Amino acid sequence: MADLAAPVDEAVLPLATNLSAAYDWRARLRTVPTRGSRWSRYAVPVVDVALGAVFLIFALESATFILRFGAYAVYVADIALCLVLALVQFGRLRFLRVSFIATYALLAAYAILVVLSPVNLGLNPIIATAVTGLYTVTRWEPDRRWGTAALLLALAGALVNPVTLASYSRAHGSSADPTVGSGWDGTILLIRTLTSLVFVGAVVLTYLLASSRRRIAENQALDVGIAAAQAVAAERLSLARELHDLVGHSLTTIKVQAATGLALGGEERLRSTLTTVRDTADDSLTSVRRLVSVLRSDAGDITPLADLRTIPVLIETTRGSGARINAVLPGPGVLERCNEGWSAIQRLTLVRLVGEALTNAVRHGSGQIELSLMLTPSSCHLHVSNPVSETVEHSLFGGSGLVGLEERLRLVGGTMSHGVQHDDEDRSFFILDVDFPVVPLELPASATDPDQNSGEMTGETGLGDSR
């Protein structure tokens, strides 16, 4: 059973970082219609609706040229480009790449129109869509290259601003047109230069802001992914422990019984051995079914697996496999009281500790097993000792059983010490001592007095020697 409880290698765990969550605007932004409605698949971020409305007002400003000077082609083209730019903003996030490409293509066309226009069209606020488009792809587009491309394009538009270049060009048309002006005036030159610098500053700040928001979102998604991976690892580790402790003890008993039957032979001995094998296998299957039921249950009730009354059964099962066990346990009444007062995880920990300790003792030991369980009102102490041969003395610490015990004890704040000791006759004994805190209970004096840990069962309040 060593492979079942092998430590989970974190390197092979799928790290569910799920960075796509960092770019999921549906989960992070308010939308219309709202999430959960029947029209949610057509949802548009509220911020895009607001931006689209603002830019639509800016676009309608261009209609003043037509109202003042007539429906000339340049004015019609101007308002048409501005209207399309405004409308594209309504799909800024819903159709991110398409909206970005359309925005920058329309801005390029607008710049060409401004340069080639026979009149000065002025500086329409609609060009702010370059900044919103830059922010959108930098913050929300998973592929970083789109953000870099948007930054370069926005910087080019800010440094070589066609609107500014148009103001530096030749005088346009007739001076009777109030929109006509010369770009070579020193004051205008200074203003336009400062405007370009403002554009550059706005572009850089927008990119830095979007990058910062993106990095924060990615770190959050990464933290969530790591937490999820750790949860998966913990679940796998817990399952490995349960399978090891549930099945390992039973299979060890079956193995010992089978070996004994083969060695001794005889019809009666074989019948007894097969009966024990059958009963042990049946108990193991029952325990596994309970575990599967717990894993499939949303409630996750581990009470059936954490019954302290199964401890004497474990000992008798192990003794039935041929092992010699001298066990000192609290009386049935004390165990029942602890069943009612302890938490489920505390009870399960003790049951698994006893089972794994017996399994290791049978697997590696070569003589009588000494087991003592002592309870105090606020703690539990388990002592297990068994002789070991020199050949296995150095191999006791490489398995997963002791590792699983330490993991369980950490969950309940317990401690464990173990090692090989030698007596005066130079015999080797493996010693296991475990202590962990429990829910404080009022226990009878006989339950905490080590002098009363032997002899016959003393009913509800005593300790019994299950030799």
Tell me the C-alpha distance between 362 and 322, whole Å.
9
Give, for all 467 residues of the chain, the pLDDT tens digit.
334 333 334 333 334 346 677 888 887 888 888 876 777 778 889 999 999 999 999 998 888 889 888 889 999 999 999 999 999 999 999 999 999 999 999 999 998 888 888 887 877 888 899 999 999 999 999 899 999 999 999 998 888 765 565 555 544 444 444 444 444 456 766 777 787 788 899 999 999 999 999 998 888 777 766 665 555 556 555 665 566 555 655 666 666 666 666 566 666 766 666 776 666 666 666 666 665 555 555 444 444 567 888 899 888 888 877 788 999 998 888 888 888 888 877 888 888 889 888 888 887 777 889 999 998 888 899 999 998 876 655 455 445 567 777 877 887 888 888 888 888 777 888 899 999 988 787 776 655 554 444 433 333 333 334 43
| DSSP element (H, E) containing 466 | none
What is the domain partition of the chain in residue ranges? Answer: 10-228, 306-467
CA distance 190 to 313: 95
Residue appearing with tokens 């060593």: 2
Cα(389)–Cα(426) distance, integer angstroms? 11
As a residue count, the chain comes to 467
CATH of 306-467, one of 3.10.310.30, 3.30.565.10, 3.40.228.10, 3.40.50.970: 3.30.565.10
Please classify residue 424 by burial: count the beta carbons closer than 10 Å to its beta carbon, then call 0-12 exposed, 13-18 middle and 19+ buried. Answer: exposed
Region label for 323, one of left (φ > 0), alpha (ψ between -120 and 50) or beta (otherwise) = beta
Residue in the block written with tokens 């920990």: 349
Q: Which residues pair with 432 in a beta bridge?
A: 384, 418
Q: pTM for the complete prediction? A: 0.50
| 228 vs 291: CA distance, rounded Å | 23
Task: Check if the beta carbon of residue 366 is closer than 8 Å to that of residue 387.
Answer: yes
The three-state secondary structure class of 124 is coil
Alpha carbon distance 281, 225 (integer Å)? 40
